[in-house]
Amino acid sequence: MFGFTAQHLADDIVANFKQHDITDEEVLPEVVAESYTQDSLKTTDAVLSAARYVLARDVAMHPEVRRVVREVYFKHCEISTAPTARGKREIDAFHIYAVCHNTNVFCRVINYVSGY
């Protein structure tokens, strides 16, 4: 994304509204990508794909983005369990998985235990 960094995206996510505008470039991405072609990136599509990968990696590794995604995940996720046929036979009241036997286990419990 021209004119928009992982930090800009993190700022927007943390603030929960758009703080940074994307600056529109006058040159098309394909035209810019032509100047970056080389032996390992022979086509403009390969250059643009590599650029998307680098940006995606930067966003995924940004600590503020990771924190917000983790908070949203733990707030809204739900994990449900159901025993298999073998589990129905083997899991009794004293089994280590007896708590999960035929119940729903919510991330809020995991959230409480892990301190999130």
Chain centroid offset of residue 65 CA: 8
Q: What pLDDT does residue 95 have?
A: 81
Q: Residue 105: which domain range? A: 77-116
- Sign for the pseudo-dihedral over CA of 75, 111, 58, 16: positive
Q: What pLDDT does residue 16 have?
A: 85
Please tell me whether residues 67 and 31 are part of one structural domain. Answer: yes
Please tell me whether residues 36 and 48 are part of one structural domain. Answer: yes
Please tell me whether residues 55 and 82 are part of one structural domain. Answer: no
3-state SS assignment for residue 55: helix
Alpha helix stretches (DSSP H) within 16-116: 29-34, 44-61, 63-76, 85-90, 107-114
Q: What pLDDT does residue 1 have?
A: 46
Please tell me whether residues 62 and 113 are part of one structural domain. Answer: no
Instruction: State which residues of the chain have pLDDT below 70.
Output: 1-2, 100-116
**Number of folded domains in the chain?**
2
Q: What pLDDT does residue 88 have?
A: 82
